[in-house]
């Protein structure tokens, strides 16, 4: 694997259960095995990474949301520090570009597009590749329930239903409808960036097959 310094690979998904975290681990491992210096930013790390302390503090402050500017500045700090420390490859799980969170917090498409433009400026000159995993939401949510247990779906529906931008979610059908709309928005917004965007349809692929497919369409992996 040969990569120039400052490559951020952001793995995001159309739904829980599409295999983001599994693919992130595989990509980070493969990059490290090739000799690259790798930082693997796991999904839960946003609560503990120093650069994202302002994000964690705002979220815990009572509003249950974070100002877009805080997301942008924390991302800028994270990428700049990694670059200064000589990290070659950043692999992030459900981080950049924050679209599901921004939707849940009630921001409209125009605002989210502006946030993406600010993020693009914040991470320069780091090269960004977004790997967008997607699957039928019914299938993906069923996979998430099998992984997390039967109570998980109630938690997930409740979390969405409590947020200002996703209050329409009351049950599984409305969650699926929301995820379909969010996918359309995500694809449209990512198309407006200068980032390399790889849309990967998971379908019947298992984790190993998905990783192999990503390597095929992203040769520098």
pLDDT of residue 112: 98
Q: Name the pTM for this structure.
A: 0.93
Report d(CA 97, CA 41) in Å as an integer.
Answer: 14
Query: Which domain CATH number covers 60?
Result: 3.40.50.300
Q: Is residue 220 part of a domain?
A: no
Q: Is residue 102 part of a domain?
A: yes
Report d(CA 201, CA 112) in Å as an integer.
Answer: 24
pLDDT of residue 5: 46
Q: Is residue 151 part of a domain?
A: yes
pLDDT of residue 216: 87
Q: Is residue 37 part of a domain?
A: yes
Q: Is residue 1 part of a domain?
A: no
- The 127-134 sheet, strands edge to edge: 38-41, 89-93, 7-13, 127-134, 196-201
pLDDT of residue 182: 98
Q: Is residue 218 part of a domain?
A: no
List the pLDDT tens digit at each of the 221 positions of the chain.
Answer: 444 348 999 999 999 999 999 999 999 999 999 899 999 999 999 999 999 999 999 999 888 899 999 999 999 999 999 999 999 999 999 999 999 999 999 999 999 999 999 999 999 999 999 999 999 999 999 999 999 998 999 999 999 999 999 999 999 999 999 999 999 999 999 999 999 999 999 998 988 999 999 988 877 66
Q: Is residue 76 part of a domain?
A: yes
pLDDT of residue 217: 84
Q: Where are the alpha helices (DSSP H) in the chain?
A: 20-33, 53-58, 68-84, 99-104, 109-123, 137-148, 152-162, 172-191, 207-217
Domain of residue 121, residue span? 7-212
pLDDT of residue 218: 79
Q: Is residue 219 part of a domain?
A: no
| Domain count along the chain | 1
pLDDT of residue 6: 86
């Amino acid at each position: 694997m040969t990569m120039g310094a400052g490559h951020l690979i952001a793995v995001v998904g159309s739904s829980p259960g599409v295999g983001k975290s599994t693919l992130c681990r595989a990509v980070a491992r493969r990059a490290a095995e090739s000799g690259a210096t790798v930082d693997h930013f796991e999904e839960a790390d946003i609560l503990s990474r120093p650069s994202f302390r302002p994000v964690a503090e705002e979220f815990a402050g009572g509003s249950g949301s974070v100002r877009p500017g805080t997301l942008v500045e924390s991302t800028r700090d994270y990428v700049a520090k990694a670059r200064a420390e000589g990290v070659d490859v950043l692999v992030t799980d459900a981080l950049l570009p924050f679209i599901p969170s921004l939707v849940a917090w009630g921001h409209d498409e125009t605002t989210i597009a502006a946030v993406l433009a600010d993020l693009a400026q914040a991470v320069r000159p780091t090269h960004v590749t977004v790997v967008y995993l997607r699957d039928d939401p019914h299938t993906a949510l069923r996979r998430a329930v099998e992984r997390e247990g039967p109570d998980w779906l109630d938690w997930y529906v409740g979390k969405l239903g409590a947020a200002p931008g996703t209050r329409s979610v009351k049950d599984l059908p409305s969650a699926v409808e929301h995820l379909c709309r969010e996918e359309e928005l995500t694809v449209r917004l990512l198309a407006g960036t200068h980032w390399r965007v790889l849309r990967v349809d998971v379908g019947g692929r298992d984790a190993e097959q998905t990783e192999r497919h990503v390597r095929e369409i992203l040769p520098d992996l």
